[in-house]
Amino acid sequence: MGKLYGSREPEVPEATNESISLLQKEDKLEGTLEVSGKFRIESEVKGTVRCKTELIVGNSARIVGEVEAAIVIVAGKVNGNIRGTDRVEILPSGVVEGDVHAPRLVIQLGGVLEGRSHMREQTKPATAGVEQTRPVIAFASQEGADEI
């Protein structure tokens, strides 16, 4: 190891709420991953991934298993069910083969969902035995609208 010349030790940035942990493309994980902060996956994962805040499934990520987080953003591929307590977003390069459970679901033009979406409220209804649902509003791009 070489020496560091200078009068100070190098500073290591403190973890903040905005810091993101990362599984890189070369990494592989099999089993259960539970994280508390923002997390980005760019690798192959087989198993369950749980994140308390925001989980980003990057372009090169391939997940086979269950995914749970407050916010799930998919740019890669997930083969399994996704549960988002706040929302799930499927980006143009994203592919989900499984069911999505979230109060809000965004699928951008080009994104793929091969499965069902469940968008019921995550909290229990005030009246026992009566389920509350919210209307779903879908927006389509104006591109190619003249061709229809």
69 assigned to some structural domain = yes
74 assigned to some structural domain = yes
Q: Residue 43 is encoded by which pair of tokens? A: 């690798």
Nearest-CA neighbor of 68 among 82, 80, 53?
82
pLDDT at 78 over 90: yes
52 assigned to some structural domain = yes
Please report where in the chains the tokens 């091969």 appear, as a residue.
114
61 assigned to some structural domain = yes
HEC string of 3-54 equals: CCCCCCCCCCCCCCCCCEEEECCCCEEEEEEEECCEEEECCEEEEEEEEEEE
Q: Which residues span the domain enclosing 72?
A: 20-123+132-139
67 assigned to some structural domain = yes
47 assigned to some structural domain = yes
| CB within 8 Å of 69: residues ≥ 6 apart | 49, 50, 51, 52, 53, 54, 55, 83, 84, 85
pLDDT at 85 over 70: yes
2 assigned to some structural domain = no
Tens-digit pLDDT profile for residues 22-69: 777 888 889 999 999 999 999 999 999 999 999 999 999 999 999 999
Tens-digit pLDDT profile for residues 97-129: 999 999 999 999 999 999 999 997 654 444 444
Number of domains the chain contains: 1
7 assigned to some structural domain = no
Q: What is the pTM of this model?
A: 0.70
